A and B are shown apart, each in its own frame.
Chain A
Amino acid sequence: MPTMRDRFMNVSGALLDERPDLAIVLADIGFGYFAGAGVVARHPGRVLNVGIREQLLIGFAAGLAMEGFRPIVHTYAPFLVERPFEQVKLDFGHQGLGAVFVSVGASYDAAAAGRTHQAPEDVALMSTLPGWRVHVPGHPDEVEAVLRSTVADRGLDYIRLAESVNPQAVPSSGGLMPIRRGSARAATVIAVGPSLAPVLEATADLDATVLYASTVRPFEGETLRTLLGAPEVVLVEPYLAGTSSAEVSAALKDAPHRLLALGVARQEHRRYGSRWEHDRAHGLDAAGIRRSVTDFLASAA
């Protein structure tokens, strides 16, 4: 199956053909693809490579946005969000400008590359900034849908691509999508992006309502509030554990509930290997999620 990144690059290249106000801004990473696919040759001025200069990547893109361009800004997550975070905060939000940021690498897709190329904190950081919508697609089809919709808008969008994908896409509603309905007394499990596949496997024989989110900011809490059965809520996010806990609490502020927030642990995990091994280490594979969920539900009994 083509990866999310493949789809992003194909679609953004096609969008450049359609939209004269669109520009792709890069810091080396990804430029080879756009050159190889002929996109640079077709639009030499609108695939802009600033070199390995990530502060400039953001500021330069903001300058384009200031003059009416809709920039798509792309690089590895730690170099897009963490290294130039003040530029993200001031050059876009504070200036009142819009952009589509697209990251690759997710929490630890580059597991063997070590900590420098891992960014489990990206969604938490972006969530501190007002106005940003944060998208965590779980399938290449979802990437195309969210890319097309955000490019057509003028706001602030962060799209987080990952190598882990779900077998099937979920049509986006912009909010929480019920994937499986449990009984009236079922616990609720919220799966974000690529977490859906292991969540469905982990809860296959449990009485649980499974909700899916591919857009986590803003967090759509009404569906959760409406479908809440038992007070037990499990939040499974493929990045820093608890990133959306406050949003769940706000959605259920008048409903007694207990929350288990699963995700990437806060301590640094000094291991290389593969993303699957890191999923296992953080309890985010199907077996780990099942273990956490069943323990949590048993503690409620």
Chain B
Amino acid sequence: MQPPVMSYEDLPALMTLMTGDEKHGHASESTLDVLWVLYARVLKVDPQAPDDPERDRFLLSKGHGPMAYYAVLAATGFIPPDALPTFGRYDSMLGQHPDRALIPGVELSSGSLGHGLPIAAGVAAALDLQGRAGPRVFCLVGDAELDEGSNHEAIALAGRLGLSRLTACVIDNGSSTHGWPGGIDARFRLEGWSAATVDGRDHDAVESAVTADHQDRPHVVVAEVERRG
């Protein structure tokens, strides 16, 4: 893992390059802190070798509002910061949903919700079949995204197959229309996952949770952030 090119404090300015807004609080993007912790502290990825077969895989399933993702990719050297002002333009690599064919280091083209976790389960199974000991697979989804039934197909199978290299990060900003009685983590536990719920703005807590030993089971970290207004 390469050290970040920039710091966490630089992220708001990077997002401003995309939005033109004068000020960006860190809380303006629900995914920002988890993304930062993953890229700055957890993921074994290298912008100089984005296709290294031994790298960790990170799949951003929640492709909506990708400015935090792009800011983190710029801060960690995957994309040049001067690409950020092109956000959304016709000839930009940076659309309103990320495209793996256009952006170095992006594993998944996302936008339509509910696609990432099933694919991540397949990636984890493939790495198991190949006997690769190192790579871990992380997939970030939103709590409202979990409304999509395809996620629950993947949650069930990943639990049965014991895909232990798979970690799902659920950003919970309370935006699921009908909510999750009993808690999001309970849904995963029922299917055989290891689960933790943490403050999604607490970097140490997020790091500790996503790197916790979960033995022979897939793992979910529910990162709670401010309720969506």
Q: Chain A residues in contact with chain B, CB under 8 A?
A: 23, 45-46, 48, 50-51, 53, 55-56, 58-69, 86-87, 90-91, 94-96
Contacts and interface: CB of A to CB of B under 8 A. Distances in A.
Contact of B109 (A56, A60, A90): A90
| Secondary structure dominating the interface of A | helix
A46 B131 CA distance: 13
A63 B118 contact: yes
A67 to B, nearest CB: 4
A69 B123 CA distance: 10
B127 interface: yes
12 contacts: A56-B157, A59-B115, A59-B150, A59-B154, A60-B121, A61-B122, A66-B126, A67-B123, A67-B126, A86-B112, A87-B118, A96-B100
Given A95-B100, A96-B100, A45 B121 contact: no
Interface in B47-69: none
Interface string B156-196: 11000000000000000000000000000000000000000
Contacts of B156: 51, 53
Given A90-B115, A95-B100, A63 B121 contact: yes
Interface of B: 100-101, 107-109, 112, 114-115, 117-130, 149-150, 153-154, 156-157
B111 to A, nearest CB: 8
A155 to B, nearest CB: 16
Contacts, number: 90
A51 B122 contact: no
Nearest to B126: A67
Given A53-B156, A60-B157, 20 more contacts: A45-B129, A53-B157, A56-B150, A56-B153, A58-B118, A59-B117, A59-B154, A61-B122, A62-B119, A63-B121, A63-B122, A64-B122, A66-B119, A67-B122, A67-B123, A67-B126, A69-B129, A87-B115, A94-B109, A95-B109
A300 to B, nearest CB: 48
A91 B123 CA distance: 12
Nearest to A43: B129
A66 B115 contact: no
Contact of A50 (B114, B127, B128, B157): B157
What is the predominant secondary structure among interface residues of chain B facing chain A?
Answer: helix
Contacts of B101: 96
A63 B120 contact: yes
Contacts of A65: 122
A62 B129 contact: no
A61 B114 CA distance: 15
Nearest to A50: B157
Contacts of A63: 118-126
Nearest to A59: B118
B157 A68 contact: no
Given A67-B130, A69-B129, A95 B108 contact: yes
B95 to A, nearest CB: 12
